[in-house]
Amino acid sequence: MTELAGSSRLRDVSITKTLFQATLAVHAFFYEHTDGLIGHRLLGVPCLMLRTTGRRSGQTRTNSLVYAQDGGRWLVVASKGGNPKAPAWLHNPRANPQVEVQIGRTRHQATTAEIGHDDPEFARLWKLVNDNNGGRYDAYQRRTTRPIPVVALTPTA
């Protein structure tokens, strides 16, 4: 009976993960296809669209990400839900830090800066983004040994 119950729990986790991923995909679709009219918030959390240039393809890549504000810049987290591998989108701004940020219907050119755990600002910024996202980033960091960075998006002129 225990083996069956364990199997059922794994299936429930898998279904929940699949539903969550589908929700994120639908959210990104509406954000993108309504040009920001729908999608600025997901489950009460503010989201932006980050457009990067593919480091190999040169094509525009778009990702919907939760963000927090810190003064005049936006902060996103390269968490991938605590996966041991960094999210694919992070490799593009590492290669080319010039990006486009869309918040609602407004688009901004910006420059990225990756803020790692050894940066003096990290603890303050981590608390800001984690509190903004209901403590989820702490949970994601506990799932992996990979240090999850914060990425600052600073508007350019």
Query: What does the DSSP assignment read for 32-50?
Result: HHTTTSS-SEETTEEEEEE
CATH number at residue 12: 2.30.110.10
Contact status, residue 149 vs residue 114, Cβ threshold 8 Å? yes
Output the average pLDDT for the chain.
88
Q: Quick: pLDDT tens for 85-120.
A: 999 999 999 999 999 999 999 999 999 999 999 999
- Domain hosting residue 85, numbered range: 2-155
Displacement of CA 157 from its chain's centroid (Å): 24
Determine the pLDDT at residue 124. Answer: 98
The total number of structural domains in the chain stands at: 1
Is residue 70 predicted with pLDDT exceeding 90?
yes
Contact status, residue 76 vs residue 65, Cβ threshold 8 Å? yes
